[in-house]
Amino acid sequence: MRKYNVAVVGATGLVGRTFLKVLAEYDFPINNLILYASKRSAGKVINFKGKDYTIVELTKDAFDGVEIALFSAGGSVSKEYAPIAVSKGAVVVDNSSAWRMDDNCALVVPEINMDDVYTKSNIIANPNCSTIQSVLPLKAINDAFGIKRVVYTTYQAVSGSGQKGVNDLANCKNGLKPEFYPYDISKTCIPEIDEFLDDGYTKEEMKMVNETRKILHLPNLPVSATCIRVPVENAHGVMMQVELDKEFTIDEVKEAIKNQPGLVLYDDVKNHIYPNSLVATDNDKIYVGRIRRDISTKNGILMYCVADNIRKGAASNAVQIAMALDVDKCKK
């Protein structure tokens, strides 16, 4: 098997560390591994598969010989350094929002639209965490019945804010005042994720709207979202109200979910079997349940999905893209 020279940018962050965990779990074919981070982290040592690697400061001289670069260092870093990596021959998979809506960059969930990679630039965008876990059930439903409209309500864990969010929840539980969130996240849900726009939506909500359309190749699909931060450490939940083009039975919907790679039908409510953060944490499956008719509209369904936002919602999706990637086929 061919092995690749791989770089991880942002290797000391929450997602960066998970990149390394998933690369090891998947036994990714690595020839040389280079770990980049800020000047502050340079010189630190990280162990990967029994070998110590020293963190290298990210500079404009980086990426010589790198074939695949996994980025999770924030949008400004990606904007500056992803083009440098590509100019030196690398294919970039970027976890930030910097490139997602760029027309020349593929926005990819590998179970859905991996072929988009080969018609775009060599910067591949990893979608928003809540979008990833939502579009895979939607893909299964759309293939079987067609979809006319989607309404999302998300319940997003604090790890989606990074280590600062995790720390704020822990500190608030111990009686300290919040330093990151506007309220004590241990005692309330907060319907504010990212900045508010003039129309009352947040940037996070519009990410879900626009990314759903792009990934599913449905540019005119009516979509709306409300995104809520909840006092849970890890694994996001998303409630979806979906209007379908065709008549359906609940058994047919469940069969479509069950047959979609990457999804787990987890729906036996009489035995308290439904998606939750406990079952979804630390694996790469998307759990789907609470599937029922929406009695407020014709041909509508309601369903709830949960996934590990740091793994499938970020690091694992990026590594899965890299695993599926034909580097030689990428547009040069």
pLDDT, tens only, 28-83: 999 999 999 999 999 999 999 999 999 999 999 999 999 999 999 999 999 999 99
So what's the pLDDT on residue 332? Answer: 55
How far is residue 42's CA from residue 56's CA, in Å, rounded to a whole number?
5
| CA 230 distance to own-chain centroid | 18
pLDDT of 292 over the 70 cut: yes
Is residue 217 flagged as an active site residue? no
Q: Domain 4-127+314-329 - what CATH class? A: alpha beta
So what's the pLDDT on residue 70? Answer: 98
> What's the rounded mean pLDDT across residues 1-8?
93
CATH 3.30.360.10 domain position(s) in the chain: 130-309
E strand or H helix at 115, and its extent? none
124 to 103, 142, 278: CA distances (angstroms):
11, 24, 31
Closest alpha carbon to 4 in 23, 19, 17, 22: 23
Share of the chain above pLDDT 70, in %: 99
Residue with tokens 């409510």: 269
So what's the pLDDT on residue 1? Answer: 78
pLDDT of 331 over the 80 cut: no
Predicted TM-score of the model (pTM): 0.95
The model's confidence at residue 251, banded by pLDDT at 50, 70 and 90, is very high
The model's confidence at residue 164, banded by pLDDT at 50, 70 and 90, is very high
pLDDT of 261 over the 90 cut: yes
Is residue 236 flagged as an active site residue? yes
Name the CATH code of domain 130-309 (choices 3.30.70.920, 3.30.360.10, 3.30.450.20, 3.50.30.50): 3.30.360.10
Residue 272 in tokens: 């308290």
DSSP state, 100? Answer: T
Give the sign of the dihedral formed by CA 279, CA 281, CA 283, CA 287: positive
Measured from the Cβ of residue 88, the count of other Cβ atoms closer than 10 Å reads 15
- Of the listed 129, 172, 227, 305, which one is catalytic? 129
CATH 3.40.50.720 domain position(s) in the chain: 4-127+314-329
- Of the listed 105, 172, 236, 305, which one is catalytic? 236
Task: Quickly list DSSP for 271-309.
Answer: GTB---HHHHTTS--EEEEEEEE-TTSTTEEEEEEEE-T
